[in-house]
Amino acid sequence: MHIAGPSVCRRRGAAVVAALVTCSTVLTGQHLAVAGGGPAPAGPAPRLDWRPCVQGSPFDCATAKVPLDYDDPGGRTIELAVIRRKATGPGRRIGSLFFNPGGPGGPGTIQMPQNYEKFPREVRERFDIVSWDPRGIGNSTAVDCFGSPEAAAEWAGGHAVGFPVGARERATWIAAYRDLSRRCERRNPELLRHVSTADTARDLDGLRRAVGDSQLTYLGISYGTFLGATYANLFPDKVRAMVFDSNWDPQAWTNRGSDDARLPSFLRAGSDRTAAATIDKFLELCGSTGTDRCAFSAGSPKATRSKFDRLLRRLREEPVGSYTYSATVADVVNSLYVVHPGWTELAGRLQDLWRGRTPEPPTLPPAPPVPDPSPYLGEEQAAAVFCGDSPNPRAPEAYHSFEEDSAARTGVAGRFWTWAAEGCATWPAVAADRYRGPWNKPTAHPVLVVGTIYDPSTPYSAAKAMAAELADARLLTNDGYGHTALINPSRCVQDHESRYLVDGTLPPAGTTCRQDTPPFGTPEPNGGIAAGGGWLAGAADRV
């Protein structure tokens, strides 16, 4: 099972890398100090003993102890690795902004430092930026079904990359993920049942209390939007300001609360459709420019699409080094997450393959200044969250049929996204504590939902669905490309987010922004908007 997302991009090294609307609308919510409405806290807040992550690091680290099972708060505890960067504007601090980098499986202690400079300047000035490795992940108490890097590498090398092609590879793939499930059941049976999104939302509320904030300020990207929606409905009175960027449709992800899943999770979510549209846009824009900007261009969109199809057919018969047909498709989908430099570098790799040359591997980002910048991030960590939360068909042999049906509509994107969920067919655990709705509990303050039009993972339709499902939300459209506006910057989006996070001013209904620099292009002219005067003005005195 290959679950793509910012965490995958990080391992590949990519995550480090409209007319401007000048007026704003304020939606007024309740006062910051509203009480009641959420579940009672499970015991005292965890203690955070902050210290520099490493000597000279601008980041502080801490370890929080939380209950494994919130229904048994006096029982076994687990550890959460936590990180922060203090607000840079002396005397102007509002509180803490909690950040979840997605996945599931994204280690915040790594990805927050890597992406820190991408947070809007005013947000960095006014908030401590805080993140953590969710339970089961990375440097926290982690799911590990192998026990050694060598065993994990041997398992990973025993099946196809991306998705299986042909009956033999399908049989090998299914057997590999059945073997993974057995290993996990033997090594982590108790932990597997307690790494749900609802468990993590309760951890997040404990961390909020630990930093002394009366309500939560939050930015979640990708899977982090589902985590955010779960928190908002478990603790609606604790919502100060929450930004959801590149959204999961909560009804699709939870199969509307039913365990009778007729389709795999990512097909329900529409990942195949949005990836297909984004691949097509990549080829269109590449073909509309010259090879000086897009190395794979064949001179026109039609010719470039044809060239891409011919390349994939050739790779199916004659791989180039490790670049098989399926591995190349996986590389294409994952490389579309980050427009700059991802799209340009992808075009270069495709051109190398066209010429029969093995591409150079992408350059990895520098390690952040933290104690363990390369924790174990095996596929089973994401699977433990994903498979425990989201229902999937339990018959492995059915996935080939799902693949063919999706491929008939969406081409190679459907093959990739179908098999991304197959490991859940034999997964041994269901989360003991799942939250599956309702999603419309009135929150103390409204939520800002950001959706990108051409996103290879989360469709724009999911952002619209999220905004419609929540009790009080405003949709901000990012007329752009890639997965998340955070790592594909738009000054327009950043200005609206900053104003909302600082003082609660929401963009007007129907607001559309554009990215600063389009794929293969030059920067778009853009501007800014002032921050101040909304329903959270003066919040520094109250948080």
Task: Walk along the chain (543 residues) in steps of 10 and give the mean pLDDT of each run.
Answer: 40 28 28 36 85 97 98 96 95 95 96 97 97 98 95 97 98 98 95 98 98 98 98 98 98 97 98 98 98 98 98 98 98 97 97 97 87 95 97 98 98 98 97 96 98 98 98 98 97 98 97 96 54 40 34
pLDDT at position 92: 87
Residues contacting residue 331 through CB under 8 Å, at least 6 positions apart: 162, 323, 346, 349
Residues contacting residue 222 through CB under 8 Å, at least 6 positions apart: 5, 6, 101, 102, 103, 106, 245, 246, 248, 457, 458, 483, 484
pLDDT at position 244: 98
User: How many Å separate Cα 113 from the centre of its chain?
Assistant: 16
Quote the DSSP letter at residue 140. Answer: S
pLDDT at position 420: 98
The sign of the dihedral angle between the CA atoms of 315, 320, 322, 323 is negative
Cβ–Cβ < 8 Å for 486, 219:
yes
Taking the C-alpha atoms of residue 237 and residue 38, their distance in angstroms, rounded to an integer, is 6
pLDDT at position 292: 97
pLDDT at position 40: 47
pLDDT at position 531: 41
pLDDT at position 42: 56
Predicted model pTM: 0.91
Taking the C-alpha atoms of residue 384 and residue 192, their distance in angstroms, rounded to an integer, is 6
CA distances from 179 to 186, 340, 379 (A): 11, 38, 13
The sign of the dihedral angle between the CA atoms of 266, 268, 269, 271 is positive
pLDDT at position 362: 80
